[in-house]
Amino acid sequence: TWSQMGPRLRAVSARLQQITQPGDRVAILAPQGVDYVIGFFAAIQAGAIAVPLFAPELPGHTERLDAVLGDAEPTVVLTTTSAAGSVGDFLRTLPRHRRPRMIAIDALPDSVGAAFTPMPLDTDAIAYLQYTSGSTRTPAGVEITHRAACTNVVQMILSVGLDWNIRSVSWLPLFHDMGLIGGLLQPLHAGVPVVLMSPRHFLERPLRWLQAIAR
């Protein structure tokens, strides 16, 4: 809920403020879920630049992840306790000077949020880096400003209309631009409920998406 989200955001943001400087990159290497959402917004709220990525459990994506981390040079990696093992193993393959610190989002108690200091966020400052798929070339990072992201959301709402009673169900990965903007930012900005499911579970059995919509 919104009331649960606030304390979680402040806790993760406060921890990031203790170990980062404004403008540092913070990569999210976590499974799809609420903790991913918390990590993404906490990085931005802390004054850092979020880099939405994925846990190294996806087969065939290790090279892309290595290339992106080499380009973004994050100071911190946010993950979860369930993915910390695989993320830690992956980070240890990087040269020592390139290894970011790792924080498990769900391991931080809400009480840490007492140290959070609100940061002034410039509308035209960079909110996050969106990396290309890397299917035809080395992944490239696109700088997305707060204005650009919110303008995109408003354009989507104006073009398709908005039913304030709607519930949305998305399997699109949150490290993908359509999954992040359409599957997360749009429903959150509109204040409507959103259900996120694992892209892997959808790919294994696409019927799960339709069953979730029916429920």
Question: With bands split at pLDDT 50, 70 and 90, how would you rate the model's confidence at 167?
Answer: confident
- Distance (Å, rounded) from C-alpha 9 to C-alpha 44? 10
Percent above pLDDT 70 for the chain: 97
- Bridge partners (DSSP) of residue 50 are 26, 128
User: What digits encode the pLDDT tens for the residues 58-95?
Assistant: 666 778 888 899 999 999 999 999 999 999 999 998 88
* Per-residue confidence (pLDDT) for residue 58, from 0 to 100: 65
The reported pTM is: 0.93
pLDDT of residue 64: 84
Task: Give the pair of three-digit tokens for residue 192.
Answer: 């409507």
Residues of the chain with pLDDT > 90: what percent? 73
**Which segment of 20-34, 160-174, 175-189 scores lowest on mean pLDDT?**
160-174
What's the average model confidence in pLDDT over 201-209? 95
Residue 190 pLDDT: 85
Q: Is the pLDDT of residue 136 over 90?
A: no
Cβ(26)–Cβ(49) below 8 Å: yes
> How many other C-beta atoms can be found within 10 angstroms of the C-beta atom of residue 12?
30
107, HSE (Cβ side, Cα atoms, 13 Å): 11
**For position 20, what pLDDT does the model report?**
95
Which pLDDT does position 134 carry in this prediction? 65
Question: What distance in Å separates the CA atoms of residue 79 and residue 82, rounded to the nearest whole number?
Answer: 8
CA atoms of 133 and 30, how far apart (whole Å): 18
Per-residue confidence band for 40, with pLDDT thresholds at 50, 70 and 90: very high
pLDDT score of 157:
86
List 28's β-bridge partners, or say none.
52, 78
pLDDT, one tens digit per residue, over 88-129 is 999 998 888 889 999 999 999 999 999 999 999 999 999 999
3-state secondary structure 40-72: HHHHHHCCCEEEECCCCCCCCCHHHHHHHHHHH
pLDDT of res. 135: 67
